[in-house]
Amino acid sequence: MARQINVPDAVCRIEKSGNRFNAWDTDGVKRTSEITTGARRKAFEGDYLLGRFTNKAGKFYWRKWEGEISNPTTDLPLVDVPTDHAEVLNFIHSSYSLKPQGLMMSELKWKYLIRSAVRGKNIMMTGPAGCGKTMAAKALVNSLDRPDYYFNLGATQDPRGTLIGNTHFESNKGTYFSESVFVKAIQTPNAVILLDELSRAHPDAWNILMTVLDYGQRYLRLDEADNQATINVADGVTFIATANIGNEYTSTRVMDKALMDRFTIVEMDVLSENDENELLNYMFPNVDSTILSNVAKIATLTRTESNSETARISSGISTRTTVELCGLLYDGFSLEEASEVSIYPQYDATGGVDSERTFVKQIVQKFCDDGSSDDLFNEDEMAEAGGSMS
């Protein structure tokens, strides 16, 4: 009997736009948000195609495809964002279909996000750590399909070098100035520039960005000295920043009010239990759905408890943590083992049996004892864990 060949139902070619790797299928549909960054980068650097396959559970996954495609993706058209008011309204209010399935965001906030970008607003994504701010910003980039650039300002140790450039010396060239990628980015018409972790950036970065983000100025000075070049921001450039704002974020800085006034604020919500469960099942189709449901319940219990008037823990488990935990489940770790390394270190062990860590362990242990039941907490236990799970 001949061996059946597994053929993908979609094939993508990876193209580089700015400093991002975008995926286009043979029908001209952009599928960047469906494929991990690492897979897209490797496919681009290896000059090979990615195919979408279906596993035994009926879920999609992407891998290298060495077969042929009948309709190669070349000279693909960009999404045409309209300028006529009536067409703009239609684009905004029909844009929810552009939101990727893996992004848990209300229709209203997604439309507000799209509207802000279409109208050329500087957008600041705020919300608790791990709630999906960067994912939402990248999803917006994919939806508008414009040249895009990514800068993690919270990780840079040299704001001037990242945003302006550096002076170098070589024996055969002498002293010369090398502009940063950011300088190129702001000169790219209709570019979308993502400024990640802006609240963790050095104040020098904020000072440099003041004139760039100001709607009345929109320029970048390469140097404060007289007669130095001034770079104007190109038409249609949109800046999207992510920020953690609040006293609970001890590694962040208090952001300058003048800088914040240059942005339209879009606040991300903490996921409900149902949304968390839906997201985890979407991201980890090969993990038992009952266990994923229990992870969502654990996260919801900790968030409810942390917001109660008599909270016994200072913070709830973030979506970033639940995703990491489920990645461990996918790699063969038990729920108890995954919690030991991904959840417990986030909570203080001071106080022994009365510590935050012990309390969280008690919540997790209920689900480790019997993951098949939805009634793991009776009414008294639910009250102790911070309230009902409605």
Mean pLDDT, the chain cut into blocks of 10 residues (390 residues total): 60 82 78 85 89 77 72 39 75 85 86 87 84 83 81 86 81 75 90 88 90 91 69 90 63 69 87 90 90 94 90 89 92 94 93 90 85 46 45
Please, is 109 exposed, middle or buried when counting C-beta atoms within 10 Å of its C-beta (0-12, 13-18, 19+)? middle
Can you give the pLDDT at residue 75?
36
Q: How far apart are CA 52 and CA 131, in angstroms?
A: 28
Can you give the pLDDT at residue 25?
80
Q: How far apart are CA 163 and CA 181, in angstroms?
A: 8
Q: How far apart are CA 313 and CA 302, in angstroms?
A: 8
Report if pTM > 0.85: no
Do residues 22 and 13 touch, judged by C-beta distance below 8 A?
no
Can you give the pLDDT at residue 371?
45
Can you give the pLDDT at residue 381?
47
Can you give the pLDDT at residue 134?
82
Closest CA to 266 of 248, 299, 239, 247: 239
Do strands 123-126 and 60-65 pair parallel, antiparallel, or not at all (unpaired)?
A: unpaired
Can you give the pLDDT at residue 228?
66
Can you give the pLDDT at residue 68?
52
Do strands 123-126 and 238-243 pair parallel, antiparallel, or not at all (unpaired)?
A: parallel
